Amino acid sequence: MTDGPPPAQGKILSLQYHCFPDEAGGAWRVTYEINRRLAQRGWTVHLITCNPGEELADRETIQGVVYDRIGVKPSKRPVSLWRALRRRLNAALSDSPGSPARVVHVHNPLVGFLALLNPRMWNVPMLYHFHSAWYDEEQVNRRERLLLEGRAGPGAELLFLLRLKLIRLMEWTCYCAARRILVLSRYSQERLGEYFPLGKDKVQVL
């Protein structure tokens, strides 16, 4: 008797803005390993992501994972990103051959928020993978820009505060919609609890 392929488990839809090996980074490498191992265990993994460069194919399969890339230009504008994402979600969540996705695994709050504007998403169990708070990252980036460019005017400060409010709205929408919020460490669990105290019962440390 020879070992055959693992039994089919269903389809998982993975949503990221960028990913490995398209881009290098610790969080992207983690999500790559998760998707690769799920594919090895018999899951059909459909990754919707954004193409960081025109040299990469719009669609290809890597280590058993289907990479479905949104073009560079539409990925840079929220409205065009939403439209491109909506088309791919409608196909991935439909009852067409290949079966609809059974689980949606979100790794990026912007992509997750735009995806949730599609009513098809509301009936599919969603997992949110908390790598770090975009809210925190934006403030760190802001401090670095101020060190380089000097103090910003009052208009720029107001726009920055509004941007932080919008980021919080998008992140909290994803957290509220998720059945589970996955974290990789106790530190991440504690930070998430400070930032989003309403979801402590949803958090699971991997």
pLDDT per residue over 176-202, tens digit each? 999 999 999 999 999 999 999 988 899
154: pLDDT confidence band, cut at 50, 70 and 90?
Answer: confident
Supply the pLDDT for residue 155. Answer: 77
Average pLDDT of the chain, as a whole number: 90
The phi and psi torsions of 97 (rounded to 5 degrees) equal -50, 140
User: What angle do helix axes 78-92 and 109-116 make, rounded to 10 degrees?
Assistant: 70
Neighbours of 199 (CB within 10 A): 18
What whole-number distance in Å separates Cα of residue 97 and Cα of residue 106? 23
The H or E element containing residue 161 is helix 154-177
* Average pLDDT estimate for 19-25: 90
Is the domain 10-129 a CATH 3.40.50.1110 member?
A: no
User: Whose CA is closest to 45, among 62, 20, 30?
Assistant: 62
Which pTM does this prediction carry?
A: 0.89
Residue that has been written with the tokens 């989003």 in this structure: 196
Look at 206 and 20; give whichever has higher pLDDT.
Answer: 20
Supply the pLDDT for residue 18. Answer: 95
The lowest-confidence range among 13-17, 25-29, 78-82, 191-195 is: 25-29
